[in-house]
Amino acid sequence: MSFGFAYGTLPGHPERGEESFHVRLDDQGVVSFHVVAFSRPGDLATKLAGPIATSVQSMATRRYIEGIKRYVGSAVNTR
């Protein structure tokens, strides 16, 4: 069983980039999770914010990971 999603930013977003998240549950019950992401500042304000923008981006990624963990946990419990 596998799940995944991806997204890319739209014009005008403070960052330019893409992220994809893929989760796989194998026949032995082992879960693997892969994140592929890249980004760069989309405007001058984000470029000047540097570490702050990176911190916000990291927080968002952690929240995505927690959401996927909860989703996979509920999918496993309903098998």
pLDDT of 76 reads 60
pLDDT of 10 reads 94
Q: Are 4 and 21 in contact (CB under 8 A)?
A: yes
pLDDT of 70 reads 85
pLDDT of 27 reads 92
Q: Are 55 and 31 in contact (CB under 8 A)?
A: no
pLDDT under 70: residue ranges of the chain? 75-79
Beta sheet of 2-8, edge-to-edge order: 2-8, 15-25, 31-41
pTM exceeds cut of 0.85: no
Could you give the count of Cα atoms lying within 13 Å of 56 in the half-sphere of its Cβ? 10
